[in-house]
Every structure is written in C-alpha cells, then in structure tokens.
Amino acid sequence: MSYRSGGAFLQRCAEATGCEHFGLLAGQHATAMSLGMLGELAQRSRTVRAAIGSVIAHLHLQTRGGIPTHTVRDAHATFGYALYLRDMQGTAQAYDLVLAFEFNILKAVCGPRWGPSEVLFAHGVPKDVTPYQALFGCRLQFDADRSELVFNKHWLDQPQMGADPERHRQLLHDILAQEQDAPEQLLFQVRAALRRMVMHGRATEGLLANLLSVPERSLRRLLDQQGTSFRELLEDARYEVARQLLVDTDMSTADIATSLDYADPSAFSRAFRRWTGSPPAAWRDNARQ
C-alpha cells in the first residue's frame, strides 16, 4: 500500500468510527516483529542503541514515506518519526500510529521497566487525551514541531535479554543482501537526511556531506547530475515541514520559523510567500477549510 493511500485510509477509518485516536489504537497492535526480519534484527542486537540504529539504517527497505529519527542530548534520548510526503491525508493518525509502534519496539528491546518521560506530537490537541495518557503514562506535548518519544539516555547502552550475536550476524547478512538488490538512490538519501536535519534546526551542505560520507564537491556534482542542488532540496524540505506544521498544529508562525532555523518570522514569511504566493496564516486558513 502506498503511503498516501495508507494515510487516507487511516483518516477515513477515524471519520467512519468517530474515533479520533484510531491511529493510536492501530499502532498499539504493532510490535517489533511486525517489521519481520528487521524487527528480529533489532531484538537480537547487543544493546538498545544498536537496535534503534538497525531500524534507522534499514527501514527504507520497507517504507519510503517517512523516516525514523533519533537524537541524544544531555541526559535524554529520543526516538521519533518524520513524514515527508507533501499534502498527505491523515498525518495526525499516521504519527499516532507510529509513536505507539515505536513505544512497543522500545518496550520489547528495553524490557517492561522502560517508559518515556515525555511524548511529543506534531499535531493539535485531541478532544480526549485519556487514551494517550493511558498508553504512554507521561507528560504529553501536542502542537510540537516533531513527533518523538523522549527517554533517559542510560537505556541506550543497556544489554538486551534477547541479544543473540550469531543470529544477528545472519540477519544482517540477509538484510544487506536485500539492499544490494535494491540500492538507495542518492536523492532519497539526501531528502531523508535533510528531513532529519531540518527537524532539528541545523542543515548545512558540510554536515550533509559528512553524514553521507562524501566530499562536498562530489555531493554538488552528484546533485547537479540529478538536475538539482543542496539549496533547492533544503528549501523543499523546509517547505514540506512548514506545510505539515501549519495544517496539523497550532504553532505560531514565529515558532515555526525558529524551528526551521530562519533568522526571523519575516524571513520565513517571505520564503513561504515565494513558495505558495500566500502568507503562512492565509495559507493555513485555506488548507484547513
């Protein structure tokens, strides 16, 4: 099923059932093993850090509509998700589904004592937050600029009870063979990397080249061969994130500008008007109608 069809399906289910948290309920039925070979690879990894890394590195074999995200800052770590398809229906439902799914994955690899300290949602406050509180059992932040689970970073280096080095090697060998049969295209790699970088407020050509392990000059040449440039792809990534936040959250234009690393709200407004011919507030009203 395509990502767009999946999002539309989730939205229709929520409307037909009158259940605003339909995506959350659907996500609760997914486990690490729902990812098949990749889910087992995560569960056989030596540490929680390695398990998360496995999902991030290889999820593209199963889906191209969004990317898992992971950060470590101070005492906290995050595990989240970023959709990057423009004008997709059901994004709020999709984010709820994936966060519940990621919650179950971390429970599986960390053990029953694990729990998040905070959960962020890149959509508005639902009418009833009780189902969310019942599942996550922690502070909830809606109208956020990203969707992610926040937890103590000490869990990352915890050994897993299901760790199995020999089975892990076998699974990794099979997954790498699949990747050789279906190699990632450069533009997908760049778009996925930029989507993560834009979410966290810093995206430069140097950082991108370092992340992809290629010299900056080589990256420019490769993108030029594809008829595009770093600047064009960065603006495209910012545009996608801005549209999603304007439609699905009540974040102010100033907060969105800060999140996207614009110098000030007026710079963001000028860029958005250039993209759409309309200021952000007017575009938001029309999109929601």
- pLDDT tens column, 108-127: 989 889 999 999 999 999 99
What pLDDT does 119 receive?
98
Give the pLDDT of residue 186.
65
Left (φ > 0), alpha (ψ -120 to 50) or beta: where does 47 sit? beta
CA distance readout (Å), 93 to 40, 41, 97, 195, 257: 26, 27, 6, 20, 25
Could you tell me the pLDDT band of residue 191, with boundaries at 50, 70 and 90?
confident
In a domain, 126, yes or no: yes
**pLDDT of 255 strictly over 80:** yes
Q: 16 and 126: one domain?
A: yes
> Which of 156, 146, 182 minimizes the C-alpha distance to 67?
146
Mean pLDDT computed over every residue of the chain: 89
**Band of pLDDT at residue 181, cut at 50, 70 and 90:** low
* Percent of the residues in the chain that have a pLDDT greater than 90, as a whole number: 54
Domain boundary among 146, 174, 202: 174
pLDDT of amino acid 182: 54
What whole-number percentage of the chain has pLDDT above 70?
Answer: 95
Q: Are residues 18 and 71 in the same domain?
A: yes
User: Does residue 183 surpass a pLDDT of 60?
Assistant: no
Query: Are 12 and 86 in a shared domain?
Result: yes
Specify the DSSP class assigned to residue 158.
Answer: P
The reply to whether 249 and 271 lie within a common domain is yes
Q: Do 140 and 195 fall within a single domain?
A: no
* Pair 42, 76 in one domain: yes
pLDDT-based confidence at residue 65 (cuts at 50, 70, 90): confident
Residue 70 phi/psi, 5-degree rounding, is -155, 130
> Are 197 and 165 found together in one domain?
no
In 3D space, the residue among 74, 100, 72 whose CA is nearest the CA of residue 156 turns out to be: 72
Q: Would 74 be classed as within a structural domain?
A: yes
How far, in Å, CA of 162 to CA of 26, rounded? 26
Given this model, what pLDDT does residue 38 score?
92
The pLDDT-based confidence of 200 (bands split at 50, 70, 90) is: confident
CA 194 to each of CA 88, 205, 231: distance values in angstroms, whole numbers, following the listed order: 19, 10, 11
Q: What is the pTM of this model?
A: 0.76
Which CATH number belongs to the domain containing residue 252 in this structure?
1.10.10.60
Residue from 182, 195, 176, 190 nearest 260 by CA = 195
pLDDT of residue 77: 96
Its domain, for residue 258, covers 186-288
Does some domain include residue 181? no
Give CA–CA dist 178/187, Å, rounded: 19
pLDDT tier for residue 142 given thresholds of 50, 70 and 90: very high
Supply 164's token pair.
Answer: 């199995």
Number of structural domains, the chain? Answer: 2
Q: What is the pLDDT of residue 184?
A: 52
pLDDT average, residue stretch 39-45: 92
Q: Is 202 in contact with 193 (CB distance < 8 Å)?
A: no
DSSP3 helix / strand / coil % (the chain, rounded to 5):
60, 10, 30
Q: Are residues 212 and 77 part of one domain?
A: no
The confidence score (pLDDT) of residue 95 equals 96
> Is residue 150 a part of any domain in this protein?
yes
Residues 192, 84: Cα–Cα separation, whole Å: 8
215 shares a domain with 170: no
**Same-domain check for residues 36 and 147:** yes
Give the pLDDT band (50/70/90) at residue 24: very high
**Would you place residue 104 in the very low, low, confident or very high pLDDT band (cuts 50, 70, 90)?**
very high
Min mean pLDDT across 76-90, 164-178, 198-212, 236-250 is at 198-212
The reply to whether 156 and 39 lie within a common domain is: yes
- 61 or 277: which carries more pLDDT confidence? 277
In a domain, 263, yes or no: yes
Token reading at 78:
């995050």
Whether 179 maps to a domain, the answer reads no
E-assigned strands of the chain?
Answer: 66-73, 76-83, 118-120, 139-141, 147-152
Q: How confident is the model at residue 262 (pLDDT cuts 50, 70, 90)?
A: confident
For residue 148, pLDDT over 50 is answered with yes
Look up residue 61 and give its DSSP letter.
Answer: G
161 and 191 fall within a common domain? no
* Mean of pLDDT values over 85-114: 92
Q: How far apart are CA 13 and CA 20, in angstroms?
A: 9
Domain stop point among 145, 174, 203: 174
pLDDT value of position 185: 60
- Give the residue from 107, 142, 174 where a domain finishes: 174
